[in-house]
Amino acid sequence: MKNILFTGPPRCGKSTLIEKIVQKIDIPASGFFTREIREKGRRVGFSINTLDQKQGVLAHLRVKSPWRVGKYGVNLADIDQIAVPSMMPATSNSLIVIDEIGKMECFSELFKKTLVRALDSDHPVMGSIAVKGNRFIQKIKERPDVLLVTVTLKNRDQLAHRYQTAVDRKIGAL
């Protein structure tokens, strides 16, 4: 399977696992990571951080938006203008990194269309996906070209080496 999506409970290490793999592979990669935004030790939101060093706000306590997840207002403009363009690689033998496919990101129709295009492309995709989700997220997890891997505190360290090798092989075959 050319697309690998990691799933698991919050804070189990999915993003860290993907980051370790990206750092060890010797191929171009594009895409984004999400990170917590903290103020005085308290989580106040989430940022979008692209592999080409662009940054935006995914969601924040102070974002006024009709799209909300819990107490966070979701910033569709930064999803569409920062995250989405990062999902379109500049070279033919690139890995696409999408961290994460979750409720916040899926408020964007452009994100969903671009995600499907990326999964359908010749580029391998590696990312994280919510354990629970709406019908769109469930359909992504059920795709025949997606390998869904559950990450736990116990297995996350072994998964880094295993999937680094798998990604290297997939890119080499392009």
User: Does some domain include residue 100?
Assistant: yes
> Residue 26: its pLDDT value, please?
81
User: Does some domain include residue 47?
Assistant: no
Domain count of the chain? 1
User: Does some domain include residue 145?
Assistant: yes
β partners of residue 125: 3, 96
Non-local CB neighbours of 146 within 8 Å, separated by 6+ positions: 1, 3, 4, 5, 119, 140
| Rounded-to-integer distance, Cα 138 and Cα 7, Å | 12
Enumerate residue ranges in the chain where pLDDT < 70.
Answer: 168-174
User: Does some domain include residue 10?
Assistant: yes
Q: Which of 84, 80, 60 is nearest to 72 (CA)?
A: 60
> Residue 174: its pLDDT value, please?
47
| Rounded-to-integer distance, Cα 87 and Cα 29, Å | 10
> Residue 125: its pLDDT value, please?
96
Q: Which of 41, 81, 79 is nearest to 63 (CA)?
A: 79
**Range of the structural domain that residue 141 is part of:** 3-33+86-172
Whether residue 171 contacts residue 163, with contact meaning beta carbons closer than 8 Å, is answered with: no
* Claim: this prediction has a pTM higher than 0.95: no
User: Does some domain include residue 68?
Assistant: no
- Give per-residue pLDDT as tens, 17-39: 999 999 888 889 999 999 999 99
116 burial (CB, 10 Å; 0-12 / 13-18 / 19+) is: middle
> Residue 25: its pLDDT value, please?
84
Give the DSSP H/E element, type plus range, for residue 101: strand 95-101
> Residue 173: its pLDDT value, please?
54
Q: What is the CATH number of the domain that holds 16?
A: 3.40.50.300
User: Does some domain include residue 74?
Assistant: no
